[in-house]
């Protein structure tokens, strides 16, 4: 299992490294159109993965798209984990009506299917948003709408710590509430927080991909895995145009790598 | 038990009320709520554009809109869809059976596949088979449901199976872990050591122990299936609630979206509550 994890880590490092080196590795900018050549051209020496409908180099777009997805999914995961920590850990630590109130809020979020909520809010954005705004808003929405499940787990963790002997001793010694939370509760929740953060990343990558295919992800010309996968809508020949499946293969490899890095127990939690 | 059911019904009612208001508020205060694709049509005159804007005036004050919506809904009037120009009630009545059938078939397919593979993997204890089933479920967990829907369009297969694969990927791992834990219990090890047959062990010892938790996961998977139904219906061209939600979202159709929020939330809560109540009664029987 350790070797599988190491292999997954190496794969992730390679993919992240290649995407961050897009400025040097990509033969063209993601938005540059090669109008002298036919759109949807096959692989060639100049364009390793061919060109898309608008004559843009697909390899460059895959590299830049990977960078967008792999930079912003962890950012969204961080945002949702921080929100979950604030709501869940505080609720679990304070207990009583605060815990009931916070968990009622989490239940409300969990009862609304996430993709449905995301679709509604993302679709209600202005029609003429810039690519930068669309990418920021998409991942920001992922972050602020995805906290509920993590908050439940963190609340349970904080509740266990609240009822533990060491916290009782610290409280009996006169340690203040803020200090207790900062020095005793949060450090003990660190493994749970980290697990929730890692679990959220592939979830957000997949959600962005789903939104992108439905036409509600990152706006053109900025690429992301979601917008790159949208090309599959016009796909007619699986065997003959395998290079068009590269973004999907990259996404599956990345998400699988994240799943492999997380242990079975963490995923089940 | 009656008290539990009454409490759950009250919880569903309160969650529905707050959920509807929350969804309506989110959409109403999204920065692009006032922008309308129709208003960008260059063939429309200024008066027509102005008329389109005025048609939205009733939706500006969210509390007034929600109050009017609820009082009309109590009398069976769900309003008129602005984007599709048809009564919402009619649209919902037409499309609900399609989605119910799609999700029902998908859930049955997903649960059957998940249960068969999880039980067979737990019973056989073959490393290669275990790795194979885990890899298959893991693969479907890593493919966006929209891509699965596109593949099913491409191979001309029913969309319900795409939902089934999404559900299978989500339930398999939980069920596999649950069955592993059950098979490791001392009384089950003893039963096996005494030579009780595998089917008898499964039916009389494993399933009664893990039945409540299996049901809980089944309840949660309804929400997964509902989420997957949106891209599957939108991309496979299935005229159900998921496609309607997508169209309503694109058209910023507030009354339709609020109604759909009610339906989706209600179905999710009902599934979770039912599995919760069934689980409790199973545990009570065990005790």
User: B107 CB contacts (<8 Å, ≥6 apart)?
Assistant: B163, B164, B167, B221, B222, B225
pLDDT class of A269 with cuts at 50, 70, 90: very low
Top CATH class of A2-27+49-267 equals mainly alpha
- Could you say which residues of chain B have pLDDT below 50? none
Cα–Cα dist A218/A8, whole Å: 27
Q: Do B245 and A216 touch (CB under 8 A)?
A: no
| CB of B144 less than 8 A from some CB of A | yes
Give me the residue from B15, B154, B231 closest to A210, CB to CB: B231
Cα–Cα dist B269/B271, whole Å: 5
Q: What is the pTM (predicted TM-score) of this model? A: 0.86
DSSP SS3 for A33: strand
Q: Do B32 and A126 touch (CB under 8 A)?
A: yes
pLDDT in tens, A164-190: 999 889 989 988 888 888 888 889 999
Centroid of chain to Cα B99? 10
Give me the residue from B37, B142, B223 closest to A113, CB to CB: B223
Q: Do B146 and A129 touch (CB under 8 A)?
A: no
% pLDDT > 70, chain A: 94
* Domain residue extents for chain A: 2-27+49-267
Q: What is the pLDDT of residue B56?
A: 65
Cα–Cα dist A248/B165, whole Å: 17
**Among A12, A106, A124, A145, which would you mutate to test the B interface (most chain B Cβ atoms within 10 Å of its Cβ)?**
A124
Could you tell me the two tokens for B248? 């309503």
For chains A and B, count residue pairs whose Cβ atoms are closer than 8 Å.
132
Q: So what's the ipTM on this one? A: 0.86
Q: Do A248 and B30 touch (CB under 8 A)?
A: no
Mean pLDDT, residues A128-157 taken together:
86
What integer best gives the mean pLDDT of chain A? Answer: 86
DSSP secondary structure of A125-181: S-TT--HHHHHHHHHHHHHHHS-HHHHHHHHHHHHHHHTSHHHHHHHHTT--HHHHI
pLDDT in tens, A189-213: 998 899 889 999 999 999 999 988 8
Q: Do B30 and A124 touch (CB under 8 A)?
A: yes
**Under 8 Å between Cβ of A26 and A63:** yes
Listed residue (B224, B246, B243, B238) closest to B145, CA to CA: B224
Min mean pLDDT across A1-10, A217-226, A228-237 is at: A228-237
Give me the residue from A107, A116, A268 closest to B230, CB to CB: A116
Distance from CA of B269 to the nearest CA of A (A): 6
Listed residue (B54, B58, B52, B60) closest to B36, CA to CA: B52
Q: Which chain B residues are closer than 8 Å to A148 by Cβ?
A: none
Q: What is the pLDDT of residue B248?
A: 86
Q: Which chain A residues are closer than 8 Å to B147 by Cβ?
A: 209, 213, 229, 232, 248
DSSP secondary structure of A222-269: S--HHHHHGGGGG---TTTTGGGGHHHHHHHHHHHHHHHHS-HHHHH-
Q: Do B154 and A235 touch (CB under 8 A)?
A: yes
Q: Do A248 and B147 touch (CB under 8 A)?
A: yes
% pLDDT > 90, chain A: 33
**Under 8 Å between Cβ of B79 and B255:** yes
């Amino acid at each position: 299992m350790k070797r599988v994890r190491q292999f997954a880590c190496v794969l992730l490092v390679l993919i992240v490294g290649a995407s961050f080196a897009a400025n040097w590795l990509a033969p063209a900018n993601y938005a540059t159109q090669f109008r002298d050549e036919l759109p949807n051209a096959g692989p060639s020496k100049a364009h390793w993965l061919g060109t898309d409908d608008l004559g843009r180099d697909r390899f460059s777009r895959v590299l830049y798209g990977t960078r967008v997805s792999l930079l912003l999914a962890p950012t969204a995961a961080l945002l949702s984990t921080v929100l979950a920590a604030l709501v869940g850990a505080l609720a679990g630590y304070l207990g009583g009506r605060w815990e009931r109130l916070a968990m009622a809020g989490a239940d409300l979020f969990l009862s609304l299917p996430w993709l449905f909520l995301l679709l509604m809010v993302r679709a209600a954005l202005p029609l003429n948003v810039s690519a930068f705004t669309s990418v920021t808003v998409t991942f920001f929405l992922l972050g602020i709408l995805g906290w509920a499940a993590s908050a439940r787990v963190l609340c349970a963790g904080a509740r266990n710590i609240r009822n533990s002997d060491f916290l009782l001793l610290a409280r009996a010694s006169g340690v203040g509430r803020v200090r207790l939370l900062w020095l005793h509760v949060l450090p003990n929740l660190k493994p749970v927080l980290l697990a929730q953060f890692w679990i959220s990343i592939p979830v957000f990558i997949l959600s962005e991909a789903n939104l992108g295919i439905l036409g509600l992800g990152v706006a053109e010309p900025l690429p992301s895995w979601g917008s790159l996968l949208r090309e599959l809508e016009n796909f007619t020949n699986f065997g003959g145009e395998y290079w068009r499946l590269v973004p999907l293969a990259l996404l599956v490899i990345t998400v699988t790598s994240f799943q492999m890095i997380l242990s079975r127990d963490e995923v089940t939690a | 038990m009656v008290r539990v059911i009454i409490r759950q019904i009250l919880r569903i009612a309160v969650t529905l009320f707050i959920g509807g208001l929350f969804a309506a508020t989110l959409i109403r205060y999204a920065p692009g709520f006032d922008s309308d694709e129709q208003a960008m049509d260059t063939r429309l005159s200024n008066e027509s554009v102005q008329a389109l804007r005025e048609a939205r005036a009733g939706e500006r004050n969210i509390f007034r809109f929600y109050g009017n919506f609820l009082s009309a809904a109590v009398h069976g009037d769900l309003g008129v869809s602005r984007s599709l120009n048809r009564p919402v009630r009619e649209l919902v009545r037409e499309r609900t059976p399609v989605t119910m059938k799609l999700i029902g078939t998908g859930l049955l397919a997903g649960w059957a596949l998940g249960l068969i593979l999880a039980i067979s993997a737990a019973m056989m204890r073959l490393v290669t088979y275990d790795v194979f089933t885990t890899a298959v479920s893991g693969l479907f967990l890593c493919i966006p449901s929209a891509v699965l829907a596109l593949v099913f369009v491409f191979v001309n297969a029913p969309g319900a199976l795409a939902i089934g694969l999404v559900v299978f990927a989500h339930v398999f791992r939980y069920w596999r872990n649950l069955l592993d834990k059950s098979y490791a219990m001392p009384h089950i090890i003893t039963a096996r050591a005494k030579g009780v047959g595998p089917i008898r062990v499964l039916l009389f010892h494993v399933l009664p122990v893990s039945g409540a938790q299996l049901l809980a996961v089944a309840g949660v998977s309804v929400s997964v299936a509902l989420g997957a139904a949106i891209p599957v219906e939108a991309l496979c061209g299935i005229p159900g609630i998921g496609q309607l939600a997508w169209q309503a979202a694109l058209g910023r159709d507030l009354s339709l979206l609020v109604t759909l929020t009610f339906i989706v939330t209600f179905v999710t809560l009902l599934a979770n509550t039912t599995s919760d109540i069934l689980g409790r009664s199973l545990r009570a029987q065990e005790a």
